[in-house]
Amino acid sequence: MRNYLKAFKRAAAVGAVALAVFSLQPGSAQAAQDRDPGARPSPGVVGGTRAQQGEFPWMVRLSMGCGGALYTKQIVLTAAHCVNGSGANTSITATAGVADLNSSSAIKVKSTRVLQAPGYDGQGKDWALIKLAKPIDLPTLKIADTAAYNSGTFTIAGWGADREGGSQQRYLLKATVPFVDDATCKGAYGNLVDAEEICAGYLQQGGVDTCQGDSGGPMFRKDNAGAWIQVGIVSWGQGCARPGYPGVYSEVSTFAADISSAAASLGG
């Protein structure tokens, strides 16, 4: 297991969020944070700017204090550490269709089932699916099924805090971060799961990163046809936007086939 005195997951304890749109649910990211004895409050997208309404229509905010993306119109792809196991679960509310979480146009749908990555033990395999009670009529985000897109510059987005130690955000923030190769990332952390994790960030100067409350959200870029494609899932890091410590993301292409099979098993 990685040393949580130094590195921690980026789920938020939403009880501390000063926005009425959030509610802490049992079996949530708070439990994931409680399992990380070294976790301390840290922030959403650091160094970001506000996303425009409709710019990333597949973005989802989850009531346990995590992000996600619409994999299908009825299934949200998020991080394994945002949920507690698999099975029936009606405690999660997904908010979609808005950049402003307080907007009266927000679409809110309850969960029905959760499927956490089989074999997840806190290290690697950080993905999960949440089935919703009904479809959301919004565009979905395609996932990468090849490592060909694991390079270049990525976009990150979320409602997490905008600085380390900050609070969760009402408005969706976005930023861009460059790919960091495995060898360099392993040099920073020492315990990277190379085949299952991908890193991104401004290694020398820091200043731009995902942070607490962004867990489970997508890291994405344009594919060869100019369409958005998801290459990562916000997972963990040391602090937020610190020089020398890039953000660590679950490598979506590694799990594409497993995610597809899991989604088929959920139906929808």
| String of DSSP letters for 35-72 | T-TT-------BT-EEPPTTSSTTEEEETTTEEEEEEE
Instruction: Let me know: does 130 contact 75? Beta carbons within 8 Å.
Output: yes
CA 24 vs. chain centroid, Å, equals 17
Q: What is the CA radius of gyration of the chain?
A: 16
Annotated catalytic residue 121: no
Annotated catalytic residue 182: no
Residue type, 211: C
Catalytic residue of the set 42, 63, 167, 215: 215
To which residue do tokens 């405690």 refer? 91
Q: Fill in the DSSP letter of residue 232.
A: E
Q: Strand (E) positions, 79-196?
A: 87-88, 93-96, 107-116, 128-132, 142-143, 153-158, 173-180
CA-based nearest residue to 116, from 66, 77, 74, 142: 77
Cα angle at 202 between 196 and 207, to 5 degrees? 120
Catalytic residue of the set 81, 86, 91, 209: 81
Q: What are phi and psi of 18, to 5 degrees?
A: -90, 40
Annotated catalytic residue 81: yes
Catalytic residue of the set 86, 91, 111, 126: 126
Active site residues: 81, 126, 215
